[in-house]
Amino acid sequence: MSLSSIPASFGLLSGLSARARSLIWIGFIAAASTAFSLVLACATPFAALAAVSALNLSRRDATVAVFTAWIANQAIGFGLLGYPHDALTYAWGVVIGIGALLSLGGAVAAADLLRGRAAVLRGIAGFAVAFIVWQGALHASAFVIGSGEAAFTFEIIAYVLQMNVLALAILAVLHQAAIALGVIARPLPVAAAA
């Protein structure tokens, strides 16, 4: 059950349909990606964005959200951050998009495997699998593209993991704040949602 499918009984979303609430989530993920892309550039936390999308949206909407996040990231990179316009950079852009979507698949699979368990456990597992899949896809692509292997040192992967954990924490705090302010509905308890 995604949060967008839970009836909003109070707050700003009380009169909105589940579809409208899903679109708000997609917009939130896109806005978060834009902000993270501006601050972190190449370290945009796609694993965190994928995990949050997997837990809060239907599979279709989560795919749209992660794809939109990737589009926003590429627009920031090429439009504002001056990424070079060459075949190698375009190839890496495509690889990042594919990796982000694969990481979403990993997050969805982990969350589905733990359906009925506490949301925190599903979130941690979804994030862990998303990060491993995302980094694995990028690392494998470095060999196929023939460039970028140097980006997979322990220090760089640790930094990317830290940025993803930080992003996940920020997204979780924003989610809880939205619940506290009545912007989104409080999730149903696990027993009621099962």
What pLDDT digit, counting tens, does each position of 40-84 carry? 767 788 999 999 989 888 899 999 999 999 999 899 989 988 899
Amino acid at 6: I
Domains of the chain, residue spans: 3-193
The structure's pTM equals 0.82
Tokens of 110: 């982990």
Q: Could you report the per-residue pLDDT of 118-136, keeping only the tens digit for each?
A: 888 999 999 999 999 999 9
Higher pLDDT, 154 or 41: 154
Cβ neighbors of 111 (< 8 A, separation 6 or more) are 54, 55, 122, 123, 125, 126
Q: Which residues, at least 6 apart from 67, have a Cβ–Cβ distance to it below 8 Å? A: 97, 100, 101
Distance CA 73, CA 35 (A): 9
Domain boundaries 3-193, corresponding CATH code: 1.10.1760
Higher confidence at residue 193 or residue 74?
74
Residue 22, pLDDT > 80, answer: no
Instruction: Supply the Cα-derived Rg of the chain in whole angstroms.
Output: 17
Cβ neighbours of residue 135 closer than 8 Å, sequence gap 6 or more? 47, 152, 157, 160
How far is CA 128 from each of CA 18, 46, 111, 152, 166, rounded to the nearest angstrom? 28, 12, 11, 18, 13
CB contact burial 1-31 (16+ within 10 A = b; e otherwise): ebbbebebeebebeebebeebbbbbbebbbe
Cα–Cα distance for residue pair 148/151, rounded to 1 Å? 5
